[in-house]
Amino acid sequence: MKKSIHPDNYRVVVFEDLNNGSRILTRSTVASDETTKWEDGNEYPLVKVHISSASHPYFTGDEKLLDIEGRVDKFKARQEAAAKARAAAKPKKERKSESKTAAQKLGAAPARH
């Protein structure tokens, strides 16, 4: 490990989560003007954070679950609608009976057996 690249001013700090009021006592180098009393009776610098592992949905299990089946159904419906739109956009091929009438219009007589 390289020397003199890491801070040496670590101290005990209280982090308070503003979402749910939970507090964590840990070591940090973060600066703080506020102080608070901890459970042990000592006063420590206080750092307020907007979200922590105590309130983040990923860690609390309060994640919003998506309806996987509904998403698949919507995807299939979009695919079917796109296929119908492609089919409607393609020019319709002439039918065999229509092509015979077109040949007759050109003056060619149909072959008889």
Q: What is the pLDDT of residues 60-106, one digit of tens each?
A: 777 665 565 677 788 889 999 999 999 988 766 655 555 566 556 66
The pLDDT tens digits for 12-41 are 999 999 888 899 999 999 999 999 999 999
pLDDT of residue 6: 87
pLDDT of residue 61: 74
- Residue 21's domain comprises 1-85
Reported in sequence order, the residue ranges of 6-101 that DSSP labels E, i.e. its strands, are 11-17, 23-28, 34-37, 43-49
Mean pLDDT, residues 40-58 taken together:
88
* Closest residue by Cα to residue 44 from 15, 79, 83: 15
Least confident of 24-28, 51-55, 56-60: 56-60
In-domain check, residue 103: no
Domain count, the chain: 1
Instruction: Confirm if 77 and 85 have CB atoms less than 8 A apart.
Output: no
pTM > 0.85: yes or no: no
pLDDT of residue 81: 94
In-domain check, residue 113: no
In-domain check, residue 12: yes
